[in-house]
Amino acid sequence: MRTNVSLPVELHHAGADVEGQTENLSPGGVFVRTTLACAEGETIELSIQLPNSAHITAHGTVRWVRAAQGASVPAGLGIEFVDLQSHGALSHH
């Protein structure tokens, strides 16, 4: 089940550390609004800050890339979790 939620994210890829915001989140993946340049199939490390001060850390694979389309549609990455360490923050149903 995918949930629309805006949470701060730190992305780590190819020596770059970039901040972003989630647009939606599920146990299988996340869409992150970011200007980080990645190609489909690349591996990325991310840390999502939860409202209760906990965080989710994961490695993921970029499954799709969205180019910015004006101010109303920001650029971002669709990321599938490969190695999710949520410490019970998300449940798989």
Task: Write out pLDDT tens, residues 7-54.
Answer: 999 999 999 999 999 999 998 999 999 989 899 999 999 999 988 888
Task: Return the ∠ at Cα 38 (arms to 83 and 30), rounded to 5°.
Answer: 45
Phi, psi of 70 (to 5 degrees): 85, 180
Given this model, what pLDDT does residue 92 score? 42
Residues in the chain: 93
Task: pLDDT band for 63, please (50, 70, 90 cuts).
Answer: very high
Residues 58/82, Cβ–Cβ less than 8 Å: yes
Given this model, what pLDDT does residue 91 score? 44
Per-residue pLDDT averaged across 71-92, rounded? 77
Using the predicted structure, report yes or no on whether residue 4 has a pLDDT greater than 70: yes
Given this model, what pLDDT does residue 93 score? 37
